[in-house]
A and B are shown apart, each in its own frame.
Chain A
Amino acid sequence: MKRFVYINDDEASKELSCDNRISNTKYTLWNFLPKNLWEQFSRFMNQYFLLIACLQLWSLITPVNPASTWGPLIFIFAVSASKEAWDDYHRFLSDKKANEKEVWIVKQGIKKHIQAQEIQVGNIVWLRENDEVPCDLVLLGTSDPQGVCYVETAALDGETDLKTRVIPSACVGIDLELLHRMKGVLECPVPDKDIRRFDANMRLFPPFIDNDVCSLTIKNTLLQSCYLRNTEWACGVSVYTGNQTKLGMSRGIAEPKLTAMDAMIDKLTGAIFVFQIVVVMVLGVAGNVWKDTEARKQWYVQYPEKAPWYELLVIPLRFELLCSIMIPISIKVSLDLVKGLYAKFIEWDVEMVDQETGTASYAANTAISEDLGQVEYILTDKTGTLTDNKMIFRRCCIGGTFYGNENGDALKDAHLLSAITSGSTDVIRFLTVMAICNTVIPVRGKAGDIVYKAQSQDEEALVIAAARLHMVFVGKNANFLEIRLNGSTIRYEVLEILEFTSDRKRMSVVVKDCQDGKIILLSKGADESILPYACAGQQTRTITEAVEHYAQLGLRTLCLAWRELEEDEYLEWSVKFKEASSVLVDREWRIAEVCQKLEHDLYILGVTAIEDRLQDGVPETIEILRKAGINFWMLTGDKQNTAIQIALSCNFISPEPKGQLLLIDGKTEEDVSRSLERVLLTMRTTTSEPKDVAFVIDGWALEIAVKHYRKDFVELAILSRTAICCRVTPSQKAQLVEILKSCDYRTLAIGDGGNDVRMIQQADIGVGISGREGLQAARAADYSIGRFRFLKRLILVHGRYSYNRTAFLSQYSFYKSLLICFIQIFFSFISGVSGTSLFNSVSLMAYNVFYTSVPVLVSVIDKDLSEASVMQHPQILFYCQAGRLLNPSTFAGWFGRSLFHAIVVFVITIHAYANEKSEMEELGMVALSGCIWLQAFVVAQETNSFTVLQHLSIWGNLVGFYVINFLFSAIPSSGMYTIMFRLCSQPCYWITMFLIVGAGMGPIFALKYYRYTYRPSKINILQQAERTGGPILTLGNIETQPRTTLEEEVSPLSIITQPKNRSPVYEPLLSDSPNATRRSFGPTGTPLEFFQSQSRLSSSSSGYSRNCKDN
């Protein structure tokens, strides 16, 4: 599909008539209500509430005033709707601001000032320096005579460095005046969201130069939301406008993520729903039977002899309505509210602010904080995530000579410096490649110093290092580069740039030496993409060894190569290259193919080694999180040895003899299969050992393993706590996340670059590091943090607290609704099973909305353990991971508690208020106050730390209850007129309340004390330790206990068939059960020692490169 854009021709472009109005809003004024309601009602819970509310309109069956349901329902819907409306309004405002921004365009040769939204496709738009680009433009002219301009694309891809954009070749040299009257046609693809591609062609109409088709790439475009920098002016023709721009197309609504906890709450809601249906059916049948036997005799009820057909349904439906509060309408609101607050706490946390850049953490997704506390697997990127992504050139190997080996810094290596001064050919060439084989832009700073603007950190490091070694890249003037070496200036003309792609893993430039006119190809790239193309005679052995050596030191390596080209060869190739560059379909692949034709017979100059420093606190963070039972997988695009070295240095894997590294490799299916089998065998036998076993796999083997031996690989994934996957592509990263998710593990993916975006989106929780590789990952992520070490706080503090708080809040919400519901059910047995409500409408409505929701909301600042204790004993996270605080059995506890409390309240009320006191309104209020008192004490008992707010809300709420009821009791027309005054003046009322509290809380308190002291959970022990001020330091032995404790009850094989064996209610996991002693599985096979595996590693990878060469 193509579209044709006619430059400066309103008539011809009419069919594309799409103005530049940006609209990010979800609703319009007219469709807001229906659309919003439709969305809200697509959720089951809301449908349920609506159904209940509608049933209540039938006055025959409604036990209470319909307002008691409609009120809260409308309130809740209004809250959600106004939140949506508010967000949408802000989107509208920002759109409006962008739409009404004034821009200069040219229409019929006249320069005009119009609003941005009026730009049409085909208009020529003029921009000044620091202007924002209003729509996607194809560059036509700039202030620069060479047609270059610079843009900042931060809003688009988050990369903060400047990018060069050039005018198409056809437009070079067009006069400023002529630009106004320019005509032509652009053939471009239909709008898409790929911000790295724009495969189009342009043809200018006479009188403009020739009639040739000129190919366009993304280099010729100015995309919407970019800023023009360092360029006085630029103009371009608009090709995509409004929401059809690359930016507009890439906006998408992310799939909402559901936390494990939400799923559990949904499940429990479902269970309650089933329970409710059963209750309704039983009571409905009982009610009908009672009606037909007893109620007929009760003449004062006047049951008609003949009833309409639906009469049988009336009583069940009444009970359905009476029991409908079992599923509390308030739980949704409370959960939304507290989740929002969790996210705010993350953003407010000053300890998670990156001091260097001052960026605070950000929670883009406010709904999944609890999941953080349940993470079981962390998949992490290496570069920029574990490391700083600050590249520093450290060592090099030129022509077999190692530099920088002695002092660790090649820049200070005397041998290298002397080699430069002596002008050794290889060294000079090496430096030349370092300096010019890149896309770096030198910018002269104020003080005359040169600042390099680079897209890649490696390139920047190389150029800076070259400059330090007296090969200074001074300036870039269009296609001419200026190099200063020892005072003399060398000029090169760049003929072609063969760009870096992740598939090719190398980049090259073709330059012409302006002195002698020689054409040279300069290449740099990963060893496996350079070495196979070395010229036939050259020995690459030393190079391979150097690469190995550097990789073992954890350095990033690049091979540099050089080849002189014949003029003919270049010209011939250049034609093909041009052809490939103007293809519309599969351009990237075609270009790669053509590039391949030039990049061969390379003369390998040497290897550079760049250090990527570890971020602060990475080893500690990993250690703590692993102690917390979280498994780490490292997914990196880097070399195996580099990855292993980084892994070692950041505690990812332990060195021998504690750790053991198993390698899965192979080029063919059989190889991979065999090695996978072997690793699996070792894994199975060593699960009982307190040993850190990790496996290492590379992208190629991973591909095969996942494709053909998925079952085995899944088993391996379950067995191993640690894995290193190197040389993996972005899609493989996402695939690994998906595999772990399919085993029902909660995964967290953390990364910083564009290549991590897919993994971040795929994982249950995506965390982005707002680092130096741009903000792409941080934008896609649910949480963005400044540094890797904040992860431990994010998980152990915020995740854990969120989980605990939601666990309490949700179960408590069910408890209080069940409490009042059980009382209604009991009451129905003494009211002729007729479905009378003991409580009046006002009370029922206010119970969920006011009386019980305020105290529990304050549980969002409850802390069971101090942050310090959690950090000291990260193992405590296990309670969250295994879902110990919210699962069917804890829920059963709350269920039992509400049943017990309902019995207490009901029995005491009907006996204390028997005979002459058994007035309906009074009795109802006594029972209700009993519930309120009990719930206040329940919240108080379950609160671990009382702040002022807790006291205020718990006891203030109790006072509030009386105030509200006094108010209602003062209204003569209300049903409960004077009731509360009467009750409060009776000693009997207060005596009853004390009795209810005493009888209701006593046993629960005793039970809690018993469990707290004699069957304490680990949380309790830590609480006690923390608060008695005793020694909370761990004993000397802080040995990480491997995950084996989890699985030692079951043989490893059964784990595979049942990956979710870690039942949350399965007690002896962490506890001190006697059968938790380790079972040894006999002799542990033949453990591959680390050294062996190391040597195997090197031999295999050298074999690997040899393999490549043979290809």
Chain B
Amino acid sequence: MPSNTASSSSAPAGSADSSASRTKSKRPKYSKFTQQELPACKPILTPGWVILTFLVISVIFIPLGVVSLFASQDVVEIVDRYDNDCVPTPARANKVAYIQGVSDKSCNRTLVVPKKMKQPIYVYYQLENFYQNHRRYVKSRSDSQLRSVKDENQIDACKPEDDVNGRPIVPCGLIAWSLFNDTYTLSKNNQPLTVNKRGIAWKSDREHKFGKNVFPKNFQEGNITGGGRLDANKSLSEQEDLIVWMRTAALPTFRKLYGKIESDLEKGDTIHVTLLNNYNTYSFDGKKKLVLSTTSWLGGKNDFLGIAYLTVGGICFFLALVFTIMYLVKPRRLGDPTYLSWNRVPGGGR
């Protein structure tokens, strides 16, 4: 019995020890994060700060808007819509038949430079109501095929312009197939005006996306002809018109670079454009425009940013003003405990 009692007394002690150590390890460690007590900055919306913020925003935005607007105003832009005018009057009843016909498509346009235009002057063609962003269209290309010769059979995505009688088309797909093919020849005051067509595509595209040793194959040889043809002897990386065209536009109205004029144009200069009106936009009432434009640091002529900045800045200024007036007319003490309904004497009026 004595041994029994001895062991009995030791056992609970042991278990108590173990339980104590167990609970000690269970005790959570203290740190600012675990206690959710990280030092925090708790801003509140005091009238002063808010009004100041709006004032600051308007003070920044309004000048920015003015600067943007000026930048946009500095840009000289000549836009000439020719799709309608370049169809001879008798053919205008059925423009689609005309464009699909074989008659001479050349057309002459005269543009007058309204203001001095500094070089480089960009020549764009603008298409409207043309859905380069259509899902069927935008997916119909094969980037790997464009990049290297050995992938020329990767044409799965290109349907329905993937192959001709089993031979793969290079470049395949609807985008390439519908290549824009109007051409412009410019002359200034009866002197030929050089339009530099090199370097119009992105450098990265020329060097990495379109292979130097990939040549057009079986292009535009299917039953229906789409847009422009390609020189089978020039590698894709040199076909800059194609490269530009294949950078699909996200909007139904878009401009694509045709070339650059690397000389200044004076005010009053007349520019004669001889164009070949080949591209069919008539079946879907698409407009075609020729655009000559200089650029600013913000890009082409676009008043939107300037106006938007002025508007937002103005609204912010207005808000700052309104909040100031509200603050002066109807000041409200922040954090007044009397606003807490439970602090009121319940049933005071009873």
Chain A: residues with CB nearer than 8 A to chain B? 63, 129-130, 144, 152, 229-230, 232, 294-295, 297-304, 318, 344-345, 347-351, 353, 357-360, 443-446, 627, 690, 801, 827, 830-832, 834-836, 838, 861, 863, 873, 875, 908, 910-924, 944-950, 972-973, 975, 977-978, 982, 986-988, 991-992, 994-995, 998-999, 1002-1003, 1005-1006, 1008-1009, 1012-1014, 1016, 1018, 1021-1028, 1030-1035, 1037, 1039, 1041, 1045, 1070-1072, 1076-1078, 1080
Docked-complex contact B253 and A998, CB < 8 angstroms: no
Chain B: residues with CB nearer than 8 A to chain A? 4-9, 11-12, 14-15, 20, 23-24, 26-30, 33-36, 38-47, 50, 53-54, 57, 61, 64, 68, 122, 124, 126, 130-138, 143, 147, 160-161, 174, 177-178, 202, 204, 208-209, 226-227, 247-257, 280, 283-285, 297-300, 302, 304-305, 308-309, 312-313, 315-316, 319, 323, 326, 330, 332, 334-347, 349-350
Residues in B whose Cβ lies below 8 Å from that of A1002: 54, 57, 312, 315-316, 319
| Min distance, Cβ B319 to any Cβ of chain A, angstroms | 5
A915 touches which of B38, B40, B283, B302 (Cβ 8 Å): B302
Taken together as a complex, chains A and B put the C-alpha atoms of A1006 and B51 apart, in Å, by: 10
Residues in A whose Cβ lies below 8 Å from that of B35: 348-351
Docked-complex contact A987 and B297, CB < 8 angstroms: yes
A920 touches which of B138, B252, B299, B341 (Cβ 8 Å): B138
Docked-complex contact B316 and A912, CB < 8 angstroms: no
Q: List 26 A-B contacts (CB under 8 A).
A: A63-B135, A230-B7, A297-B284, A299-B178, A299-B280, A300-B178, A303-B136, A358-B26, A627-B342, A690-B346, A830-B252, A832-B135, A912-B308, A922-B250, A950-B40, A977-B209, A991-B305, A1002-B57, A1002-B316, A1006-B319, A1023-B335, A1025-B334, A1035-B338, A1039-B345, A1071-B341, A1078-B346
B300 touches which of A63, A357, A916 (Cβ 8 Å): A916
Beyond A910-B251, A920-B132, 8 additional pairs, beta carbon < 8 A: A230-B4, A358-B20, A863-B36, A918-B254, A947-B40, A1028-B335, A1035-B337, A1037-B346
| Min distance, Cβ A938 to any Cβ of chain B, angstroms | 15
Docked-complex contact B4 and A232, CB < 8 angstroms: yes
Docked-complex contact A1013 and B316, CB < 8 angstroms: no
Docked-complex contact A873 and B340, CB < 8 angstroms: yes
Given contacts A230-B4, A920-B133, A1080-B350, contact A350 B304 (CB under 8 A): no
| Min distance, Cβ A743 to any Cβ of chain B, angstroms | 25
Query: From A353, which residue of chain B is reached at the shortest CB distance?
Result: B27
| Min distance, Cβ A671 to any Cβ of chain B, angstroms | 36
Residues in B whose Cβ lies below 8 Å from that of A987: 297-298
* Highest count of chain A CB atoms <10 Å: which of B61, B131, B134, B347: B134
| Min distance, Cβ B216 to any Cβ of chain A, angstroms | 18
Taken together as a complex, chains A and B put the C-alpha atoms of A133 and B46 apart, in Å, by: 68
| Min distance, Cβ A1059 to any Cβ of chain B, angstroms | 24
| Min distance, Cβ A1029 to any Cβ of chain B, angstroms | 9
A304 touches which of B160, B315, B349 (Cβ 8 Å): B160
| Min distance, Cβ A1006 to any Cβ of chain B, angstroms | 5
Taken together as a complex, chains A and B put the C-alpha atoms of A1022 and B42 apart, in Å, by: 13
Docked-complex contact B174 and A302, CB < 8 angstroms: yes
B131 touches which of A358, A832, A918 (Cβ 8 Å): A832
B38 touches which of A229, A801, A861, A914 (Cβ 8 Å): A861
Residues in B whose Cβ lies below 8 Å from that of A913: 250
A229 touches which of B11, B252, B341 (Cβ 8 Å): B11
| Min distance, Cβ A237 to any Cβ of chain B, angstroms | 24
Docked-complex contact B45 and A1008, CB < 8 angstroms: yes
Given contacts A991-B64, A1021-B339, contact A916 B256 (CB under 8 A): yes
Residues in A whose Cβ lies below 8 Å from that of B64: 991, 994
| Min distance, Cβ A480 to any Cβ of chain B, angstroms | 14
Docked-complex contact B45 and A1039, CB < 8 angstroms: no
B248 touches which of A919, A947, A1009, A1028 (Cβ 8 Å): A919
Docked-complex contact B45 and A912, CB < 8 angstroms: no
Residues in A whose Cβ lies below 8 Å from that of B350: 1077-1078, 1080
Residues in B whose Cβ lies below 8 Å from that of A229: 8, 11-12
Docked-complex contact B337 and A1025, CB < 8 angstroms: yes
Docked-complex contact A920 and B249, CB < 8 angstroms: yes
Docked-complex contact B28 and A349, CB < 8 angstroms: yes
Docked-complex contact A1021 and B45, CB < 8 angstroms: no
A831 touches which of B57, B133, B227 (Cβ 8 Å): B133
Taken together as a complex, chains A and B put the C-alpha atoms of A835 and B139 apart, in Å, by: 11
Residues in B whose Cβ lies below 8 Å from that of A299: 178, 226, 280, 283-284
* Highest count of chain A CB atoms <10 Å: which of B45, B247, B335: B335
* Highest count of chain B CB atoms <10 Å: which of A129, A297, A353, A831: A831
| Min distance, Cβ A214 to any Cβ of chain B, angstroms | 26
Residues in A whose Cβ lies below 8 Å from that of B124: 915-916
Residues in B whose Cβ lies below 8 Å from that of A827: 133, 250
Given contacts A977-B204, A1027-B42, contact A915 B11 (CB under 8 A): no
Docked-complex contact A919 and B131, CB < 8 angstroms: no
Taken together as a complex, chains A and B put the C-alpha atoms of A304 and B159 apart, in Å, by: 11
Query: From A945, which residue of chain B is reached at the shortest CB distance?
Result: B40
Given contacts A1005-B53, A1025-B337, contact A301 B174 (CB under 8 A): yes
Given contacts A992-B305, A1024-B44, contact A835 B135 (CB under 8 A): yes
Docked-complex contact B337 and A916, CB < 8 angstroms: no
Residues in A whose Cβ lies below 8 Å from that of B252: 830-832
Docked-complex contact A946 and B40, CB < 8 angstroms: yes
Given contacts A918-B249, A1013-B334, contact A947 B45 (CB under 8 A): no
Docked-complex contact A998 and B312, CB < 8 angstroms: yes
Residues in A whose Cβ lies below 8 Å from that of B54: 1002, 1006
Docked-complex contact A995 and B302, CB < 8 angstroms: no
Query: From B33, which residue of chain A is reached at the shortest CB distance?
Result: A861
Query: From A447, which residue of chain B is reached at the shortest CB distance?
Result: B9
Given contacts A831-B131, A1021-B340, contact A444 B304 (CB under 8 A): no
4 closest A-B pairs by beta carbon, nearest first, are A1025-B335, A1024-B335, A300-B178, A348-B34
Given contacts A838-B250, A1028-B334, contact A988 B298 (CB under 8 A): yes
Taken together as a complex, chains A and B put the C-alpha atoms of A733 and B173 apart, in Å, by: 73
| Min distance, Cβ B90 to any Cβ of chain A, angstroms | 23
Query: From B13, which residue of chain A is reached at the shortest CB distance?
Result: A446
Residues in B whose Cβ lies below 8 Å from that of A1037: 343, 345-346
Docked-complex contact B254 and A1016, CB < 8 angstroms: no
Docked-complex contact B349 and A1077, CB < 8 angstroms: yes
Docked-complex contact B253 and A1072, CB < 8 angstroms: no
Docked-complex contact A1072 and B341, CB < 8 angstroms: yes
Taken together as a complex, chains A and B put the C-alpha atoms of A1078 and B50 apart, in Å, by: 38
Taken together as a complex, chains A and B put the C-alpha atoms of A713 and B130 apart, in Å, by: 72
Residues in B whose Cβ lies below 8 Å from that of A443: 5, 8-9
Taken together as a complex, chains A and B put the C-alpha atoms of A994 and B177 apart, in Å, by: 39
Taken together as a complex, chains A and B put the C-alpha atoms of A1024 and B45 apart, in Å, by: 8
Docked-complex contact A1016 and B160, CB < 8 angstroms: no
Docked-complex contact B323 and A1009, CB < 8 angstroms: yes
| Min distance, Cβ B236 to any Cβ of chain A, angstroms | 15
Docked-complex contact B202 and A978, CB < 8 angstroms: yes
Residues in B whose Cβ lies below 8 Å from that of A918: 249-251, 253-255
Given contacts A946-B41, A998-B312, contact A836 B135 (CB under 8 A): yes
Query: From A145, which residue of chain B is reached at the shortest CB distance?
Result: B1
Docked-complex contact A358 and B134, CB < 8 angstroms: no
Taken together as a complex, chains A and B put the C-alpha atoms of A273 and B305 apart, in Å, by: 37
Docked-complex contact A991 and B319, CB < 8 angstroms: no
Docked-complex contact A359 and B42, CB < 8 angstroms: no
Taken together as a complex, chains A and B put the C-alpha atoms of A336 and B25 apart, in Å, by: 27
Residues in A whose Cβ lies below 8 Å from that of B50: 1005, 1009
Taken together as a complex, chains A and B put the C-alpha atoms of A1026 and B209 apart, in Å, by: 60
Docked-complex contact A875 and B283, CB < 8 angstroms: no
Docked-complex contact B133 and A836, CB < 8 angstroms: yes
Docked-complex contact A1021 and B336, CB < 8 angstroms: yes
Docked-complex contact B250 and A301, CB < 8 angstroms: no
Residues in A whose Cβ lies below 8 Å from that of B34: 344-345, 348-349
Docked-complex contact B319 and A836, CB < 8 angstroms: no
Taken together as a complex, chains A and B put the C-alpha atoms of A875 and B252 apart, in Å, by: 57
